[in-house]
Structure 1
Amino acid sequence: MKPLFLVKIVALAIVLACKSPEVPLPTNSPIVSGARKLVWSDEFDKSGLPDSTKWGYEVGGNGWGNNELQFYTSRRSENARVENGKLIIEARKEAYQGKSYTSARLLTKNKTTWTYGRIEAMAKLPKGVGTWPAVWMLGKNISTAGWPRSGEIDIMEHVGFDEGVIHGTVHTEAYNHAKKTEKGSAITLNDVTTKFHLYAIEWTADKIDFFVDDQKYYTVEKSVLGNSEAQWPFEQPFFLILNVAVGGNWGGQKGVDETIWPQRMEVDYVRVYQ
């Protein structure tokens, strides 16, 4: 019995030695290689306003180039708050700063950026015609290069008039929606407004893969788009954005149902691996 006991002890030591103490295995995320680590996350486990060390606010009601109808507010719990372990971004029908709707646009700009990695968000989406939630990224150089030269990665976009269709897209100077040359694809789910789903990209120097619930549905490749900065600006730091827009050129194509508000996007967590 003694030799067998020693074998078991040695085997257990080997198993424990192989486990990485740095990387907790996330619920509903793929088992990634041992070289990839969790480098940033927000689990939304503290109620109140969003963590100011991780998130800032983009504020205003200028339509954001899309003729959107909301005014994005700052540090206003009616529009952005953490409760019951979830981030709530809520669009409301109310008169505010000359607009008829309010909402929030949270971003990691000037706080944290990343170049490459797996970026994922577990979210449940708002319902109804006129809603336009998004999980997306912009190049850190947006203030100097401008859009679309800075590059844009839309991890998840959904418009309420086309419920269940999830879009993953990139925009560059050469390929963007203003020219109707953006590069993207879509996948359809039947319960995005009632259940949480995992929206993710895996981004390297050569390509960006798009996933829903770990099902890859689209890949955009540098070798296809081209090597210039105008074609592939995805070799620089990007920051993350979470928002719910109201109406706009896309979200409002079929109008806005004025009877559905308030509507919310709930986010269980956001995680970044590199």
Structure 2
Amino acid sequence: MKNNILSFLVLSLTAVVLWSCETDKSQQLEKKNWQMVWSDEFNGNSGEAPNAANWTYDIGASGWGNQELQYYTSRPENIQQDGNGNLVITARKESYNGAPFTSARLKSQGLQEFKYGRVEARLKTPYGPGIWPAFWMLGSNINTVSWPQCGEIDIMELKGQLPSIISGTLHGPGYSAGNAITKSYGLQNGRFDNDFHLFAVEWNESSIDFFVDDYMYQRIDRSKVTGEWVFDQSFFLIFNIAVGGNYVGFPTNQTPFPQKMTIDYVRVYKQQ
């Protein structure tokens, strides 16, 4: 996603994998001996905020470098645990501090940051024109070197008007915004807003692999990247729903509100 990003290349120029893991196993990786080192299962009571030891928030309506329309808040109207083991981020159509929509952007910056391993979240996306959910990571040095030098790993982002297709992307110096390294994955049957799906990356010093439901649809090798590789440092996690923006376009009269991203869990593993 995000800071100072121009529109991605249109999907017709992006390789879209149009088969599910049930129909093609050719890109499955060998089983690895993972050990979970951190997780948030979101098992709080209904209406509770996420654990402050793990999460903080971005607040405001700056457009976020993409002409986005929402005001990010930390209100329970926009983010809360549901009492059933989920965290729910809600985008609403409402006037708030001069913005026409509200939502939430949750981040682990300064609290939980990770270098290498498997990072995964099980979640169900929102949908609709102009709705832009994402599960992603930024380099922990962003306040020192800025974007895209800090690096960005988009584990999952979705255009709400295309609810069967997600994208996984890397941004870095020399390959950011419209020149980002990206690939999309489409469900052959179904939509990402109808059921929970597992989105993950497996990341080491030489490559980053992207998964949907444990199907690897993209591998990005360090040796093949034209530009500086900046993924050898710690990164923090982000979940958000943007409304509008360069990447996804803007809501229409057919966009239903409120829209929810429901997150079952997020987990981080290291290899034993």
Fold shared by both chains (TM-score > 0.5)? yes
Paired residue for 1:185?
183
Q: Is the 8 A contact 1:128 1:257 kept in 2?
A: no
Paired residue for 2:268?
272
Matches within 5 A, 1:52-91: 52-74=52-74, 76-83=75-82, 84-91=84-91
Give the residue type in structure 2 aligned to 1:215: Y
Shift in Å, 1:31: 9.6
Whole-angstrom distance in 1 between the partners of 2:60 and 2:87:
21
Shift in Å, 1:184: 1.1
Give the residue type in structure 1 aligned to 2:243: V
Cα deviation per residue 1:57-77 (whole Å; 9 max; x = unaligned)?
Answer: 011100100000000002x10
Give the residue type in structure 2 aligned to 1:169: T
Paired residue for 1:114?
114
Paired residue for 1:260?
256
Identical columns (%): 47
Whole-angstrom distance in 1 between the partners of 2:182 and 2:204:
17
Aligned-partner SS, 2:246: helix
Q: Quick check: 1:46 aligned with 2:44?
A: yes
Give the residue type in structure 2 aligned to 1:93: K
Cα deviation per residue 1:122-148 (whole Å; 9 max; x = unaligned)?
Answer: 010001111100000000000111000
Q: Is the 8 A contact 2:130 2:255 kept in 1?
A: no
| Aligned-pair Cα RMSD in Å | 1.5
Q: Is the 8 A contact 2:71 2:99 kept in 1?
A: yes
The gaps in structure 2 that reach 5 residues or longer are: 1-28
Paired residue for 2:164?
164
Whole-angstrom distance in 1 between the partners of 2:244 and 2:228:
29
Aligned-partner SS, 1:143: helix
Matches within 5 A, 1:91-102: 91-102=91-102
Give the residue type in structure 2 aligned to 1:273: Y
Give the residue type in structure 2 aligned to 1:185: K
The gaps in structure 1 that reach 5 residues or longer are: 1-29
Give the residue type in structure 2 aligned to 1:44: F
Aligned-partner SS, 2:166: strand
Aligned-partner SS, 1:248: coil
Whole-angstrom distance in 1 between the partners of 2:96 and 2:104:
13
Runs of 4+ in structure 1 off by over 6 angstroms are: none
Shift in Å, 1:173: 1.1
Aligned-partner SS, 1:249: coil
Determine which structure has more spread, i.e. the larger CA radius of gyration: 1
Paired residue for 1:143?
143
Higher RCO (C-alpha 8 Å, min separation 6): 2
Alignment: residue pair count: 237
Whole-angstrom distance in 1 between the partners of 2:197 and 2:32:
22
Give the residue type in structure 2 aligned to 1:264: K
Paired residue for 1:237?
234
Whole-angstrom distance in 2 between the partners of 1:221 and 1:163:
28
Whole-angstrom distance in 1 between the partners of 2:264 and 2:143:
30
Shift in Å, 1:258: 6.1
Shift in Å, 1:164: 1.0
Paired residue for 1:248?
245
Shift in Å, 1:257: 3.8
Whole-angstrom distance in 1 between the partners of 2:194 and 2:165:
14
Q: Name the structure where helix makes up a greater proportion of residues.
A: 1
Paired residue for 2:174?
174
Whole-angstrom distance in 2 between the partners of 1:218 and 1:191:
20
Cα deviation per residue 1:16-37 (whole Å; 9 max; x = unaligned)?
Answer: xxxxxxxxxxxxxx99544x32
Shift in Å, 1:259: 4.8
